[in-house]
Amino acid sequence: MPASADRYLEVQRSEEFAELRHRLRRFIFPTTVAFILWYALYVLLSAYARDFMAIKLIGNINVALLLGVLQFVSTFLIAWYYARYAAKELDPRADAILHSVDETPAATSTDGSAQ
């Protein structure tokens, strides 16, 4: 039987849940800022440093193409790293919280019936 709304509020206020949120935010915020800055650099270079972006590296591959491909590579690396981080740091804590909610007996009303 699902836990009551009061139990979920209790979990939300718990130290374990606060630690879970802290660890999630410790990964998400810096990674997001770094990626946005990296993307903004690419856009700004494309707009204002056309001569630099047009430098040919190998054959018809120029700096702009290389940086564009690296945008995709960095996206996949972030996703891969997040999956590893979540599996190691977040999922075990989230599972423990879930099991603590599931193991809590359902609250009963004054007439003895489950709510």
pLDDT over 50 at 41, yes or no: yes
State how beta strands 61-62 and 56-58 pair: antiparallel
Is 0.95 surpassed by the pTM of this model?
no
**pLDDT tens figures, 19-29:** 999 999 999 99
Higher pLDDT, 45 or 105: 45
**Between helices 5-12 and 91-103, what is the axis angle to 10°?**
140
**pLDDT tens figures, 63-104:** 999 999 999 999 999 999 999 999 999 999 999 988 888 776
Amino acid letter, residue 27: F
State the Cα–Cα distance between residues 3 and 39, nearest whole angstrom: 43
% of the chain with per-residue pLDDT over 70:
87
* Other CB atoms within 10 A of residue 20 CB: 19
pLDDT over 80 at 108, yes or no: no
